[in-house]
Amino acid sequence: MKAQKILVVEDDENLSFLLEERLKSEGCETRTARDAAEGYSIYLRFRPDLVISDLQLPGENGVELVRRIRKVSNPNVRTIYMSANLSGLESEIEQEKGRPEVNLLAKPFSSGELMRLVSAH
């Protein structure tokens, strides 16, 4: 897999750590954030190739974060959304599913599923 710069936005510290370690083991340069505000700030400095974001975050949700990135910085930001619960976000997710640069990863997921989507980007 080609080395990529990846931002992981996940409020679960354990999952964030596991994702970061797995991506680094594949040669990816990775940064992590615990919420949308921190994720946006890191995005602007790091300029990743891919954003992997939980949908349910403190403050803004993952879709709101990515929409802000699109509006200000990169209209075609490549994104993988993760979630165990889509409750309350169904309409936003339906709109996102139509974008070619967006994928959805249902929690729990395997390392293989993650890496398949990362490689597809």
Consecutive 10-residue averages of pLDDT for the chain (121 residues): 86 97 96 98 97 95 95 94 82 83 92 94 62
Q: Alpha-carbon distance 106 to 114, whole Å?
A: 10
DSSP string, 26-76: TT-EEEEESSHHHHHHHHHHH--SEEEEESS-SSS-HHHHHHHHHHHT-TT
Instruction: Note the pTM of the prediction, 2 decimals.
Output: 0.92
Query: Backbone phi, then psi, for 95, in 5-degree steps?
Result: -65, -40
CA–centroid distance for 102 within its chain: 9
Q: Alpha-carbon distance 20 to 119, whole Å?
A: 15
- pLDDT, position 1: 46
- pLDDT, position 121: 62
- pLDDT, position 105: 92
- pLDDT, position 80: 96
- What is the fold, at CATH topology level, of the domain defined by 5-120? Rossmann fold (3.40.50)
Token output for 102:
């967006």
Let me know: does 52 contact 19? Beta carbons within 8 Å: yes
Let me know: does 81 contact 63? Beta carbons within 8 Å: yes
